[in-house]
Structure 1
Amino acid sequence: MSVKPLLRGGLAAGLLVLAVSACSPPVAPRSAAASAAPSKASGPAALPAPTGTRPVGAAVLHLKDRSRPDPWVAEEKTRQLMVTVWYPAAGRSGRAAPYMSAKESELVLKGKRVYGSPYDLLSRTRTHAVADAAPAGRRASLPLVVLSPGFTMPRSTLTALAEDLASHGYVVAGIDHTHENYATTFPGGRVADCVACDSDSDFGFGTKVSGIRAADVSFVLDRLTGDGAAWKGSSLIDPDRIAMVGQSMGGAGALAAMVKDRRVRAGVVMDGTTYARIPKGGLARPVMFLGSAGHRPGGRDISWDRDWKLLTGWKRWLVLPGGDHQSFTDVPLLAGALGMELPGSLTAARSAELTRTYVRAFLDRHLREEPQPLLERPSPRHPEVTHCAPATKSCA
């Protein structure tokens, strides 16, 4: 489907548009009144504190892939990416890492047709990572997780998940896929806009984007784990323990990256249509589908039903019936600051808690080989999460 806004004007329009992406059917607001009467804005948002014991650092990298041109702008002969690395840090003192720049906040809110709030509001979101803190850990001891956001969304919208994983001893690399979101800022102040937004209704668009993202991921892995690594803490990464987690189009990219690059040992698809063609022989590495109600077996999006049959390794299909397309991102945490109410019955805090809990359980299971009963059966402590059986098209 097209990602162009479905409604225009005011916070009600922004509400729905923030919840829609190229990878999933639109989710309607709970009621017309909920869209028309957003709650009063409450000032800048604060992300929930990480639940792990380790201090968290964040470093921003500017990476240049000279082996290929930019796939969206032919005149740019080098594919350039901005990546944030979150990681266990040596201490907690220092300047808090920025959520995004004021200009990025402005362009994101304008792009999403969110009006009525200061355009720099998202840039004032309070984070928990220390900018450029010294990394901590033993050589080749830390698993690496790549994060990929939804179409039009910046990498910063997965910060709550990234900070939490880093506090539990993971290195996390969040990628801005240049020209696929409203604003990517490069050193020197140049801002790349969403060129791909002009093509989002083209035939084969999802397949193209997921392939581009897979190539971006392989390049980032080269720069984080190969010779001449781009990050000062790269020696701490265990190159044999790498996974990828993506939301919406980022989820499509996660599966595409697994098909393309065997270094990605496991993957989580969060509420995204999948486009990559899995080989007929199947994909034997672990995959978890984590979705909202529209991704129930036999639901509106048939891609998971199609791909499930070709996943021949460990796999799980989990659905949050009360969730929304953006429940797996920071968007619910930002909604109050914008005076907005999002669809779904989960609170912002609970959405973040469930996403962090289940994603970390998956990673601990497959990158650390730690048993995770949470992934084996429904949990009375997490009744909002259902385990699905595609064969019977049921979830319980």
Structure 2
Amino acid sequence: MRVFEILLVVFNILLLGWILFAKNKTQRGLFTLFGISAIIMLVHGVIEGMRWPMIPAYVLTAVALLLFVIRSKSKSDKAKGQSTRKRSTVKLIFVTLLTVIYSAVVVALPLMLPVFTFEKPRGPYKIGTVTYDWKDNSREEVLTPDPNDKRELMVQVWYPADAQAKGKVGVYHSDIKVFAEGYSKVFHVPKMLFTSIGYVKTHAIENAEISNAEATYPVLLFSHGLTGNKMQNTYQVEQLVSHGYIVVGIDHTYSSTASVFPDGRVAPLIQEENKSIADLDHANEQWVGDAKFVLNQVERLAANDPDQRFTGRMDMNHVGMFGHSFGGATSVQMLMTDSRIKAGLNMDGILYGQRRIPEEGLSKPFLMMSADSTVEYIHTSTDGPIDMKKEVLPRFDNITKGGNYWMILNKIRHGSFTDFVLFTPVFQLMQGSDIREIHDLISDYSQDFFDHYLKKKPFRLLEQKIGEHPDFTILHDQI
């Protein structure tokens, strides 16, 4: 809950308690307290913005007024006899019970559907961001029936910003109605449960000046998971950017939660029915094509940005890629097929794609991060359209070959790698661990990996933590 939300809820609950239990209540005192409540609600609405989970809190003042009237009437009737006094006592108990239940709802709703915040980035850089709409006229859009459609992608770039940068701070989602609809499809719950996300802000300043602290910055591509979106790992992206990286996030159109184009067009989520591992391998080729196209566009920006922001500022000799789930699989495929990608990170992605990791391992630096629950699922699942143990498990045989790393995080789930678990405490309880600590762990080891291979810095964590630990295990084959 936000500051004025907490203040409003606490004040009104105390107000109800005063009405129910305090003696010698005056009409003047009542109006004074109601006035304070109204002022708090007004300030909350102006500064923070009103949202539907707070509706019970908004009407609490009216409920308190009603209870005061009932209480006053009961007090005036107490001389009517013993039976009347008994009825008045029962009424008071009943009203008190209803008030307690109502107050619990007032507190629970905004807590269960919070306006969550991202941790302040720990690096020395502020964060700037800019968004692009890029169309690949060489590729048809295979997910729409129109044969004239070309593949069009929304891409967001985060970059180290000037220390004096000021401006509008970007929101997490620019069109919450569209994304609430998409999340409703993904999680199979009413879209109204996601509207509070529209108030979430990031730390990125829109169109900020790029920092001159370094001549150039390494570039990282980010690919989301199926049904995810380019914003889904903001906690991780912001930490990386604050430590001197330019991150390029790709929305894989029609496979993302939603894509909103500058002219207002919306590409909704199309949930394809991939019946076999061959279907998923084939579908991944489109994502690889997206990544290659975006990297081509980034090279053009680095050479000649029309806005002059990135011209000569992107270190295209040190490019990495990371992704979650299907985007993690895409990162592995790009690592194997695109010479421009120097290092790759796969976060809990099944190794879908047309190419297998060779027996000698990848010839480039690679870090695999997995949830222990996912590893167990791959080892044991034989039901469903894909026999994981038979068809998928062998693809993991050579992950660490050639000196690479496999980090298995304990007591977490597939979604733990994303922001989605911040949406509600219900999701966080399902993880079984402190999600903020998990996110810090993922961000720290991601940065350590890329710092070593793209910035040539000594390892701080990865190499020193090989083996089993309470929160994770790192597997590593020496070259």
- Whether 2:263 is the aligned partner of 1:183: answer no
Among 274, 283, 293, the residue aligned to 2:372? 293
Deviations 1:224-261 (A, max 9, x none): 11355577325311111011111111101101111221
| Cα distance between partner residues in 2 of 1:385 and 1:370 | 23
Whether the 8 Å contact between 2:179 and 2:257 is mirrored in structure 1 is: no
What secondary structure, in the 3-state scheme, does the structure 1 residue paired with 2:138 have? coil
Indicate how the Cα distance of structure 1 residues 199 and 366 shifts in structure 2: closer, same or farther if over 3 A, else same: same
* Structure number with larger C-alpha Rg: 2
What secondary structure, in the 3-state scheme, does the structure 2 residue paired with 1:370 have? coil
| Cα distance between partner residues in 1 of 2:282 and 2:228 | 17
- Structure 1 residues 164-175: aligned runs within 5 Å: 164-175=239-250
* Identity over aligned pairs, percent: 27
Q: Which residue of 2 aligns with 1:97?
A: 170
Deviations 1:321-369 (A, max 9, x none): 1111111111122223xx5444232212112101110111110011011
Q: Which residue of 2 aligns with 1:154?
A: 229
Q: Which residue of 2 aligns with 1:278?
A: 356
Whether the 8 Å contact between 1:177 and 1:213 is mirrored in structure 2 is: yes
- Whether 2:119 is the aligned partner of 1:48: answer yes
Which amino acid in structure 1 is aligned with residue 197 of structure 2?
L
Indicate how the Cα distance of structure 1 residues 38 and 210 shifts in structure 2: closer, same or farther if over 3 A, else same: farther
| Cα distance between partner residues in 2 of 1:390 and 1:374 | 17
| Cα distance between partner residues in 2 of 1:230 and 1:260 | 29
Displacement after TM superposition at 1:142 (Å): 0.4
Among 364, 373, 398, the residue aligned to 1:309? 398
| Cα distance between partner residues in 2 of 1:327 and 1:307 | 21
| Cα distance between partner residues in 2 of 1:351 and 1:341 | 11
| Cα distance between partner residues in 1 of 2:448 and 2:201 | 26
Indicate how the Cα distance of structure 1 residues 388 and 341 shifts in structure 2: closer, same or farther if over 3 A, else same: same
What secondary structure, in the 3-state scheme, does the structure 1 residue paired with 2:140 have? coil
| Cα distance between partner residues in 1 of 2:450 and 2:476 | 22
Whether the 8 Å contact between 2:127 and 2:203 is mirrored in structure 1 is: yes
Displacement after TM superposition at 1:275 (Å): 1.6
Among 215, 238, 241, the residue aligned to 2:318? 241
By relative contact order (CA 8 Å, sep 6+), the higher-ranking structure is 1
| Cα distance between partner residues in 2 of 1:137 and 1:212 | 36
| Cα distance between partner residues in 1 of 2:287 and 2:268 | 17
Which amino acid in structure 2 is aligned with residue 221 of structure 1?
L
Query: With structure 1 as the length reference, what TM-score do the two structures score?
Result: 0.81
**How many pairs align?**
352
| Cα distance between partner residues in 1 of 2:221 and 2:395 | 25
Q: Which residue of 2 aligns with 1:86?
A: 158
Q: Which residue of 2 aligns with 1:258?
A: 335
- Whether 2:297 is the aligned partner of 1:223: answer yes
| Cα distance between partner residues in 1 of 2:198 and 2:311 | 28
Q: Which moved more, 1:170-179 or 1:339-348?
A: 339-348
What secondary structure, in the 3-state scheme, does the structure 1 residue paired with 2:421 have? helix
- Consecutive unaligned residues of structure 1, counting only runs of 5 or more, are 1-36, 392-396
Q: Which residue of 1 aligns with 2:79?
A: none
Deviations 1:97-132 (A, max 9, x none): 121121233123311223385442222212111111
Whether the 8 Å contact between 1:81 and 1:175 is mirrored in structure 2 is: yes
RMSD: 2.9
- Structure 1 residues 103-118: aligned runs within 5 Å: 103-111=177-185, 112-115=187-190, 117-118=192-193
Deviations 1:255-286 (A, max 9, x none): 11112211111111111101231364752001
Indicate how the Cα distance of structure 1 residues 214 and 116 shifts in structure 2: closer, same or farther if over 3 A, else same: closer
| Cα distance between partner residues in 2 of 1:279 and 1:329 | 25
